[in-house]
């Protein structure tokens, strides 16, 4: 049984870091921007990932991912709703997305292709965990090219859980990609990708490497 088999819904948050919105020329949203990916998009954080070729640039967007472990209730604290944290990459076919945005069409073709939701192993989320003190980064060929912290989010993890739970529902097995910091960019054939997560007062965990094929 794959570790992904227990995942039910994949919710993603757009433009949740102000500098990322700015680097793409987008306005900072006044409420969370939510979209989803099919579970067929899931891919482990190590090995080889074949991304679609011939569609223009494919951009990396590293994100903190949280896993829901219990049915959503508005009065439940996060430690009773979230049972794990991970890192993920929301791969985006940027040229495809730009064309879709011009036509005011949904983003699914640009965001939901196979392999577009890379996901690391989950680390248990324990009571008292402090999202604001987590640090994460993405390395390409050994060079750090994206880094961030939930402290920089426009909408906190609590806000996102409440918004998604109230509007769409959340239950055990649902996961949330919480948005990407600035520094997104294209990958090339043969690139090696790694992700790093550092908890407050804890040891750094490295996920990968992931070899890109285009």
DSSP sequence for 155-186: S-HHHHHHHHHHHT---TT-EEE----S--EE
Output the CA torsion sign for 37, 39, 43, 49. Answer: negative
Give 4-36 pLDDT, tens digit per residue.
889 999 999 999 998 776 776 777 789 999 999
Burial classification of residue 11, based on how many CB atoms lie within 10 Å of its CB (0-12 exposed, 13-18 middle, 19 or more buried): buried
Decide which of 3 and 103 is more confident: 103
Give 96-136 pLDDT, tens digit per residue.
998 988 898 888 999 999 999 999 999 988 754 678 889 99
- The per-residue pLDDT for 125 is 82
What lies within 8 Å, CB to CB, of 201 at 6+ separation is none
> Does the pLDDT value for residue 1 go beyond 60?
no
Using alpha carbons, select from 30, 3, 52, 58 the residue that is nearest to residue 193: 58
């Amino acid at each position: 049984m794959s570790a992904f088999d227990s995942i039910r819904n994949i919710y993603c948050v757009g433009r949740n870091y102000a500098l990322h919105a700015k680097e793409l020329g987008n306005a900072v949203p006044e409420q969370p921007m939510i979209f989803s990916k099919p579970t067929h998009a899931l891919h482990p954080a190590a090995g080889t990932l074949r991304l679609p070729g011939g569609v223009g640039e494919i951009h990396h967007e590293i994100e903190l991912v949280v896993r829901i472990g219990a049915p959503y209730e508005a009065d439940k604290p996060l430690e009773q709703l979230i049972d794990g944290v991970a890192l993920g990459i929301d791969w985006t076919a940027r040229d495809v997305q730009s064309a879709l945005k011009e036509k005011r069409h949904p983003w699914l073709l640009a965001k939901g292709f196979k392999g577009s939701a890379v996901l690391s192993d989950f680390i248990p989320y324990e009571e008292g965990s402090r999202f604001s003190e987590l640090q994460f980064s993405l390395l390409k060929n050994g060079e750090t090219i994206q880094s961030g912290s939930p402290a920089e989010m426009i909408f906190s993890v609590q806000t996102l859980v409440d918004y998604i739970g109230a509007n769409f529902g959340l239950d055990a097995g649902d996961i949330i990609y919480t948005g990407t910091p600035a520094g997104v960019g294209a990958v090339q054939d043969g690139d090696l990708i790694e992700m790093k997560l550092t908890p407050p007062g804890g040891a750094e965990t490295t996920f990968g490497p992931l070899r890109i094929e285009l």
